[in-house]
């Protein structure tokens, strides 16, 4: 893995919006982004030299239901182990701070299922759980 530092801090709204652009995700108002990031339970940024090249956070109720959200690695740094480092940090934090039985969820982008399965996540639907579902309020965007 390239020489990087893990910073246990939220991304700034500007950093996060830039990361969304890297990932090809839709635009969100900067004030909304700032509030969402502020309300995260745990956040980290990965920095190489002075540039933020990765990010991940946890959202949820802070007790027994958590969602891993916004695991993003800048495209030119993908495949270098940064995503694994982000997930290791997140999973270590969860294991240290939350009780056994805590439900940890995430929405995997198409093609990333094998990556997340390395951390114990299972695909849905399966014989026990139905498909996950999503809605973007007030928009026609369903992708």
In this prediction, residue 4 carries a pLDDT of 93
CA 126 – CA 102 distance, rounded (Å)? 20
How many helices (H) and strands (E) would you count in the chain?
Answer: 4, 5
In this prediction, residue 141 carries a pLDDT of 57
In this prediction, residue 42 carries a pLDDT of 98
Q: Determine how many CB atoms are found less than 10 A away from the CB of residue 122.
A: 10
Q: Determine how many CB atoms are found less than 10 A away from the CB of residue 28.
A: 13
Helix H or strand E segment including 111: none
Pairing verdict, β 5-7 and 65-73: unpaired
Q: Which residue has the tokens 């969304």?
A: 20
Backbone dihedral angles phi then psi of residue 15, each to the nearest 5 degrees: -60, -45
- Is residue 45 within 8 Å of residue 15, measured between CB atoms? yes
In this prediction, residue 136 carries a pLDDT of 85
CA 5 – CA 125 distance, rounded (Å)? 36
Q: What is the pLDDT along the chain (143 residues), one digit of tens a residue?
A: 558 999 999 999 999 999 999 988 888 999 999 999 999 999 999 999 989 999 999 999 999 999 999 999 999 999 999 999 999 999 999 999 999 999 999 999 999 999 999 999 999 999 999 998 988 888 765 55
In this prediction, residue 55 carries a pLDDT of 97
In this prediction, residue 143 carries a pLDDT of 54
Q: Which residue has the tokens 């495949």?
A: 79
Burial (Cβ within 10 Å: 0-12, 13-18, ≥19) of residue 115: middle
5-108 CATH: 3.40.630.30
């Amino acid at each position: 893995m390239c020489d990087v530092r893990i910073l246990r801090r939220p991304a700034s709204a500007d950093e996060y919006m830039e990361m969304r652009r890297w990932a090809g995700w839709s635009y969100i108002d900067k004030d909304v982004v700032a509030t969402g990031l502020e309300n995260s339970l745990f956040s980290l940024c990965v920095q190489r030299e002075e540039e933020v090249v990765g990010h991940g956070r946890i959202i949820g109720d802070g007790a027994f239901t958590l969602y891993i959200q916004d695991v993003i690695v800048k495209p030119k740094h993908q495949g270098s182990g940064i995503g694994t480092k982000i997930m290791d940090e997140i999973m270590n934090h969860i294991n240290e701070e939350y009780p056994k039985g805590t439900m940890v969820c995430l929405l995997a982008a198409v093609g990333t299922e094998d990556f997340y399965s390395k951390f114990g996540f299972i695909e849905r639907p399966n014989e026990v759980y139905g498909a996950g579902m999503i809605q973007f309020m007030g928009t026609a965007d369903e992708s």
